[in-house]
Amino acid sequence: MRPALHFTSPEGWINDPHGITFRDGQYEAFYQYVPGATVWGPNCHWGHAVGPDLLSLRPVGVALAPGDGDDGIWTGCIVTGDDGRVRMFYTATTTPDFGIGRIRVAVPRDDAWSEWVKGGVVCEAPPELALIAYRDPFVRRFAGGWEMFVGGASEDGTAMALRYTSDDLETWAYQGIALERSTTETDPVWMGALWECPQIVDLDGRAVMVSSVWDADVLHHAGYATGAYRDGVFTPDGWGRLTHGDSYYAPSLFTDADGRPCLTFWMRGFGGAAEGWAGAHSVPYLLEVRGDRVVATPHPDVAQHRRPASGDGRVTGLTADVEWSPVDGAELEVSSGDQRVVSVRASAGELEIDIPGRAPSSLPVVGDVRMVIDGPVLEVSSAGGLYGAVVAPAGTSLAVVATGGTVAVFALR
């Protein structure tokens, strides 16, 4: 079963989204892609997709492929300089030691961004840090020009965001560690031994670092730090877990058509060998800070795909957008055919999530709950975080029943 609105590739493996850019009335989206495979391999390409919104993307080919000294084209970003030139900064890897990448630049050969020309290596792992991992550049403007953050992991289990600066996006200078944390620290949340895709953004007057949490080749969740960022140093005053469940990973920060900060995630566990494809991307989320929390809310593009549902909570087809305002002890169940797809229960600040065939899980629930179902994809969100998982609707329609609180059900197309 393939989702209708979540991005998937017609064939092959996909993982991290990146380089998402709105220009000329449409979104350009790039992603890690292994053609002809349904399992990850180090020979990643950059796939390319376009669409009027992030739920209407269509693949248009491979933008950048291994070769010319690269065995793999891993995660990175795209920026437009003050000179109007567009640049892609990506992680260039070589096998077998692909844990330590190099940061390389490429520029588009055409206005459609369909083909890119590789340039030189602009940054490498600082030798004095004795790193075991180095990858995933994120570039942004700052008062003195441009700064780049790259994820690093040291031999002693310290996760780092390394900082580089440039006046012109051409020559880069290493400036030290912007933020670091030991994998032994667990209060109030564990953040692993490597931050993949560390991205720093200013939100509502606060500095926020969002990243993936990696440890010993195991992919965990997305987490964040909040605090102050001055003179190239991030001073944290809080840490949090953004995602729950075993699906979300690799958040990609981008700016939408209205200039708002947003995230899209890679969602794991979808497709497979029999289907010939694997991996999906989440719906886009708006980012904000509320109190001490980083909050991700489904982007308004999701609501633009709504269509009326029947008054009894039934949806023809297997796509639905559900808004629920629960009270303590309230329950909500989604079924398809004569089988339960998922049930949730609000209890003492937790949303207990039960999917048939899976171990029960939970999500901190703060205020209203939003649930998006798109065939096999389940996404649940509240101000307490996000939960993503694989589900298995068995019929041709969905039925939503809530006991307690108020609920609104919409179909999606």
Q: Which residues are catalytic?
A: 406
Handedness of CA 162, 80, 90, 25 (dihedral sign): positive
Residue 295, beta-bridge partner list = 288
The order of strands in the sheet holding 397-403 is: 314-316, 397-403, 331-336, 339-347, 350-354, 361-364
Residue 254 carries which side chain, given as an amino acid letter? F
d(CA 203, CA 236): 14
**Nearest by Cα to 250 from 77, 58, 59:** 77
**Burial class, 25, CB count within 10 angstroms (exposed 0-12 / middle 13-18 / buried 19+):** exposed
Q: Provide the token pair at 213.
A: 């949490």
Whether omega before 10 lies within 30 degrees of 0, making that bond cis, reads no
d(CA 337, CA 233): 54
For the chain, give the number of residues. Answer: 413
d(CA 88, CA 262): 19
Q: Provide the token pair at 58.
A: 């269509």
d(CA 318, CA 129): 50
Question: Cα 92 to the chain's mean position, in Å?
Answer: 20
Our CA angle for 10, 15, 21, nearest 5°, is 85
Q: Provide the token pair at 27.
A: 């979104």
